[in-house]
Structure formats: C-alpha cells, structure tokens
A = this chain, B = another copy of it.
C-alpha cells in the first residue's frame, strides 16, 4: 500500500478523517506510523496528497490536515478486452492492469470461456472494487479503470467494438502467422486477449472484420496472465 485511498465522503470539512479496517491495520502494522507522522493519501477518483496522523492503532486511524493537491498520473488510453479468465487469474489481472493505469477493461464472453466463470463471486461489484483499490494503492493512483461486461460475443463484435475502435489501433493477440505486437503506440489502443485455448476461428474472423490486427508474442503458447502483461509492457505509455 503506497498510498492510503479515502472515499470523498470520508474526508470531513475540517480536513480530518477516521478510518478503520484494512487501512487502519496496514498503517499501524506495516507502515508503523506514529502520531505526527505524515501519510501519503489520495481521494478515490480525485487528487493525491498528504495527511498527518493523529492516532494509529490496528483498529482505528485518525487523520488531520488532509491536503489533496496533485493529479495522479494520467490513464493510459488503452482498452483491454479480456475473455473472462478463471476467477483467481481474473482477480490478479484486475490488480495488475489497474496498477498499469489502463483506462478501460471489457470482460468478454467467447466460446472457450467457461460459463461458470460468470457466476463467480469475484465478479460482484464489491469484489471487483476491492481488486481495483489494491491496484490503485500499489500504483499510487486514484482513478480506477472502467469495467464493462460483454456477455454476447456477436453483439460486442458488431456494435461495441466499432465504437471502441473509433480513432484507436485495434490489436488481437493470437498465436499464428502474425507480426510482433507494436511498441510504444502513442494513441488509443484496443487490445483483445482471448481465453486459455484462444479465440475460435469464427471469433478471429469477426474481430478481423471489425478492423482488429493480429499480433503474436512469438512461437511460445503463453498463459493469459503472462501474455497480457507482456503485451501491455510493449504498448508502453
């Protein structure tokens, strides 16, 4: 936790704030803050800044003099369209890509996504928000990526993808005779990553018709988590 994030409603008019739970415990146990110490804070969705510790125990953290004066790093104009992975990979990837500053994540159903994944408690809004918060706290950011769900592949390819693609470079990661993923792409990018086992040929055809360019990471078959992070590293930003 490299920044303690507060909800706007938690900051009082006098610049004080009272926290409990995970954040209080972390500040007391891991950061070992004492009264008078400065603490890096941020307002979820807003600015970064600092606060002063009034008191800190594992149960309760009292802050005063909360000042929020600088914007977080801008989001990278990247939309990651991710075939919904199995829940533990999904949870980790949410943290990874939030920390990397991606603007938007679209969770996509494809033929090889197991339908049961959509029933996972990890997809409940509060569970998703926990992972986003952890990614933001790691990266010292306040603005989470937007999360969309696209449970119909055809509707996504025909309706939503063209909207996302307007003005953007659209890349689909797929093993095959494709060139390497481009590097340090300056403008908006839509990156599509299939499920373990890949997109089926029909899906690749529909995505290609919608303007997606196939990119490869070489001859090795990679897991979704490995491939996604290596690709996002290449895109830069």
Contact = CB atoms under 8 A, between A and B. Distances in A.
Interface of A: 2, 73, 95-96, 99-101, 138-141, 180-181, 183-184, 217-223, 225-226, 229-234, 236-237
A231 B232 CA distance: 10
A99 B231 contact: no
A226 B183 contact: no
A141 B220 contact: yes
Nearest to A237: B218
A223 B92 CA distance: 11
Interface majority SS (helix, strand, loop, mixed), chain A: loop
**Residue among A96, A140, A231 facing the most chain B CB atoms (10 A cut-off):** A96
Given A180-B236, A183-B183, A101 B220 contact: yes
Given A99-B220, A99-B222, A232-B233, 20 more contacts: A2-B221, A73-B218, A73-B220, A95-B223, A96-B225, A100-B230, A101-B220, A139-B222, A140-B220, A140-B221, A141-B220, A180-B236, A181-B233, A183-B183, A183-B184, A183-B236, A226-B229, A230-B230, A230-B233, A233-B234
A3 to B, nearest CB: 9
A20 to B, nearest CB: 25
A12 B218 CA distance: 33
Contact of A223 (B138, B141, B180): B138
Nearest to A183: B183
Contacts of A100: 220, 222, 226, 230
Nearest to A137: B221
A44 B139 CA distance: 39
A71 B141 CA distance: 45
A141 B221 CA distance: 9
A130 to B, nearest CB: 16
Contacts of A139: 220-222
22 contacts: A73-B219, A95-B223, A99-B221, A99-B226, A100-B222, A101-B220, A138-B222, A138-B223, A139-B220, A139-B221, A140-B219, A140-B220, A140-B221, A180-B236, A183-B183, A183-B184, A225-B229, A229-B233, A230-B230, A230-B232, A231-B233, A232-B233
